[in-house]
Homo-oligomer: A and B are copies of this chain.
Amino acid sequence: MIVVLEKGVSLKDKASIVRLIEQHGGRLLVSELGDTTHIGLVDTVAQALADRIRVMPGVAAIRSEAPPYPQVSREYRETRSLVDVRDVAVGGSEVVVMAGPCSVESATQIATVAEAVADAGARILRGGAFKPRTSPYSFQGLGEEGLYLLAAARDQTGLPVVTEVVATEDVALVATHADMLQIGARNMQNFRLLSEVGAQPKPVLLKRGISSSIEEVLLAAEYVASAGNTHVILCERGIRTFETATRNTFDVSAVPVLKRETHLPVIVDPSHAAGDRELVPALAAAGVAAGADGVLVEVHNDPDSALSDGPQSLTLPGFTEMMGTLKAVADAVGRRIR
């Protein structure tokens, strides 16, 4: 349900409506579209308030059937959005493969991997510079130096780069060097961070939380959009269930469900879902067959020596082989991989 407010509604009236909903335990999200304010009500409990809200000052209309994430919904924009990551458009007929190591480890490593994945058809380079690690003796990521190495690899290969940002204080720095900012699964509901990446101009890759519903993913995207940045790409990467045979359960249905709900591009990350490189090509192919607009995979020149996520990283030959299959699958569903 959406409450549409009158243009020029006072801040006080807005706040009164928000308070009423929250006092009754409803969750909501406020979106400004042009000069109109929309309040999306998340809980069905809140819908019980419709009659009271309808007569409050400042309310223009109530749209019962509307999803609570107006800007990112298909209802708001029927046609699919293209998100440009530098010169690569995500969300069009091309299925965009984003590949690279879990962590940037050295100039040689990132250059080697970048060249190899570019040759095999990857269009965007991924690599971690800031890593949240559990031990002071663990490899911490190269931090700012990692960003420089990513930028150098971009210059060398022409591949735009995406890298994760884990803290609000790092957003400006990462946005200076990277072409797209990644919000990791653990931060999908870190509202301060969503706000911060929503206030800078680079596109955002938003990964689904490990126990987040599809509705929550869309609300998080709306949150970024509300902060001013509608260049958001969603990413399915596995959810936590009772099944332990894989690291997470890859919810491939999320792809067609999300694409029915939102105009934003939707990609898949089979590496984190599987946790096992042997399974990655099958899951990547499943994602493309299901309609994904892109694939994000971990690739390493020497996975057995990788400083993180070795077991789920593809080898260079493994990546090249997978790309052959993905190209054929993309063709089969009327898409293409360059």
Contact = CB atoms under 8 A, between A and B. Distances in A.
A77 interface: no
Which of A138, A186, A243, A254 gathers the greatest number of chain B CB atoms within 10 Å? A243
Total copies of this chain within the assembly:
4
A167 B186 contact: no
Most chain B beta-carbon neighbours within 10 Å: one of A250, A254, A307: A250
A270 to B, nearest CB: 9
Interface stretch (A84-92, A93-101, A148-156, A277-285): A277-285
A186 to B, nearest CB: 6
A201 interface: no
Interface residues of A, number: 84
Interface in A283-297: 283, 285-291
A320 interface: no
Contact of A291 (B45, B132, B254, B282): B282
A291 to B, nearest CB: 5
A191 B132 contact: yes
Contact of A307 (B23, B132, B246, B311): B23
Contact of A249 (B14, B251, B282): B251
